[in-house]
Amino acid sequence: MQDIFFKDLGLAEYGVAWELQEALMKEGLTAKADWYNTPQTERTALPDTRHHLLFCEHPSVYTLGKSGHMENLLVNDARLKELNVTFYKTNRGGDITYHGPGQIVGYPILDLELFFTDLGKYMRSLEEAIIRTIAHYGIEGDRLPGSTGVWLDVGTSKARKICAMGVRCSRWITIHGFALNVNTDMRYFDYIVPCGITDKSVTSMEKELGKRIDEQEVKDILRKEFGTVFNANIIPEVIEQY
């Protein structure tokens, strides 16, 4: 069973959180390189890679994945300034999405070689953690074939996404992750084509249940379900300056 070190960063500007992920990935890549460069007779059983799980909430921001299309951002720079929304082109997979207050963003920095070397299984595992979490609130999440993330009412004309996902993986170490809409202001999705999908909508836990949701409670449940799905110990850490 692996140990995953958990930090809740609170409100974190997107660029700062991204830099932290990149730094943690670099630490992991260095640890793996050192292990591979050590003679086999002197190696420990496994690389000394440290796993992390970061939760945070971002000020309003649109992020575009490396395979995304700029035309899915429906407003110009002037309008972004009026909306007080920043914009980033990122190195994750996927198209465009929104992050903002009322949303739980999760960034797992895991060495998948110590879990399983299957990126598809990793994405399904992230989805499973979200599906189990929202089930605590009576919301039935599902997967949509051909689309990552967690959806509701799949196979109907009402299909809608409640959690978006996009990751980057280098030598089996992951960054980026998922964004679960809890009490998110859904109006910000009107200014983009979310995930580049034109025929389906987005939703939040608040919208589905008709009431504000205790975000800390959702975080606590999600952290536990993440540990269960990945068969890992989730170990809280004191937040240091980042």
Q: Is the pLDDT of residue 186 over 70?
A: yes
Contact (CB, 8 A) for 59 and 12: no
Of residues 56, 163, 169, 195, which has the active-site annotation? 195
3-state secondary structure of 220: helix
Residue by residue, DSSP assigns 138-200 as T---EEETTEEEEEESTTSTT-EEEEEEEEEEETTEEEEEEEEESS--GGGGGGB-GGG-SS-
Q: How far apart are CA 226 and CA 18, in angstroms?
A: 21
* 213 torsion bin: left (phi>0), alpha (psi -120 to 50), beta (else): beta
In tens, the pLDDT along 56-90 reads 999 999 998 888 888 888 889 999 899 999 999 99
Q: Is the pLDDT of residue 2 over 60?
A: yes
Q: How far apart are CA 87 and CA 67, in angstroms?
A: 16
Cα–Cα distances in angstroms (integers) from residue 13 to residues 77, 112, 155, in the given order: 19, 27, 36
Domains and CATH numbers, the chain: 2-236 (3.30.930.10)
Using a 10 angstrom Cβ sphere, with 0-12 exposed, 13-18 middle and 19 or more buried, the burial of residue 182 is buried
**pLDDT band at residue 239 using 50, 70 and 90 as cut-offs:** low
Q: How far apart are CA 241 and CA 84, in angstroms?
A: 25
Residue 195 annotated to the active site: yes
Q: How far apart are CA 185 and CA 103, in angstroms?
A: 9
Q: How far apart are CA 125 and CA 229, in angstroms?
A: 7
In tens, the pLDDT along 119-156 reads 999 999 999 999 999 999 999 999 998 889 999 999 89
Contact (CB, 8 A) for 181 and 106: no
Beta strand extents in the chain (DSSP E only): 2-11, 51-57, 61-64, 86-89, 96-99, 103-109, 142-144, 147-152, 160-170, 173-181, 201-202, 232-236
Q: How far apart are CA 221 and CA 182, in angstroms?
A: 13
Q: Is the pLDDT of residue 17 over 90?
A: yes
Q: Which one-letter amino acid corresponds to residue 3?
A: D
Query: Which secondary structure element, helix H or strand E, spans residue 46, and what is its range?
Result: none
